[in-house]
Amino acid sequence: MRKALFTAVFLSVAIFAQTPQSSWTPLPRTYLYKVSFLQAAPGRLLELIDLQKDRNTRANFRNGGAFMMRHSQGDRWDLMLVAPAANYGYYYSPDSIRQRAALYAQDDQKFRDDIAWQEDLFVYGPPVEEVSKDWKDAGFFHVEIFQSLPGKQSDLVKEREMERAYLHQLGQPTNLVFTRDQGAAWDCFTIGFYRDLQHYAESAKTNPDDGEKAAKAAGFQSAKDIGPYLRTLIALHHDTLAVAVK
């Protein structure tokens, strides 16, 4: 009995020693953002971009300003705005409401007239410093937006973090994960940050052996199972490629 137990422990230690170990630590998702997907009215896209740029210049960044990207191909929206809100206490405080009202008073009607379709939601994501750092260095984005199957929301978010760990193992740019609190029907979305289209294309070049090791280290059964597993969790999935607006 003792010999069998010793053998089992020895084999467990040996297997663990051969398993790739990750230094990966998921980022906390405790910072609140208001996210808006905007489709411009015909012929109004450039004016809408200029209006938001002007708001960013005039705004307290946590109260009216927003990170902005422009659709290149994929989903129906033209612009995605990710506005730092900190938390609901700050966002809905009397001072914050007054600041936004004063900011929007100058151009609110123009802004509304330039929009044909809009979808908003509040999400929790990584600290704003992390988002700002990644956004500053990026010129190109890959946005994946998900609606989960009933009861699969937590599993979907876990899968997104596993895929981040997989990319980290490969030394590729990792996604930031945002999870819905209220608003539109999307349960979560991820943003991948790249220098340009070429950088995004290069990220698809993975040595099969490295991909297999990275997938298993991240918790997947194998690299080929990543996509099929994701599809067991989602009811709807939209992909968009976008460029930075600065």
For the chain, the domains span 28-244
What are the C-alpha distances in Å from 165 to residues 33, 160, 176, 177, 235? Answer: 23, 9, 11, 12, 23
Element (H, E) at 177: strand 175-183
Handedness of CA 231, 237, 238, 243 (dihedral sign): negative
Element (H, E) at 36: strand 31-40
Measure the CA angle with vertex 68, ends 67 and 74; round to 5°: 135
CA gap 222, 62 in Å, rounded? 41
List the pLDDT tens digit at each of the 246 positions of the chain.
444 433 433 333 333 333 344 456 778 899 999 999 999 999 999 999 999 999 999 998 778 899 999 999 999 999 999 999 999 999 999 999 999 999 999 999 999 999 999 999 999 999 999 999 999 999 999 999 999 999 999 999 999 999 999 999 999 999 999 999 999 999 999 999 999 999 999 877 888 899 999 999 999 999 999 999 999 999 999 999 999 998
What are the C-alpha distances in Å from 166 to residues 148, 154, 170, 171, 226? Answer: 21, 18, 7, 9, 10
pLDDT, tens digit, 9 for 90 and up, residues 205-236: 888 899 999 999 999 999 999 999 999 999 99
pLDDT, tens digit, 9 for 90 and up, residues 187-203: 999 999 999 999 999 87
> How does strand 67-73 pair with strand 234-244?
antiparallel
Q: Which CATH class is domain 28-244?
A: alpha beta
CA gap 122, 128 in Å, rounded? 14
What are the C-alpha distances in Å from 60 to residues 103, 160, 164? Answer: 9, 32, 31
The pair of structure tokens assigned to 189 is 């979305």
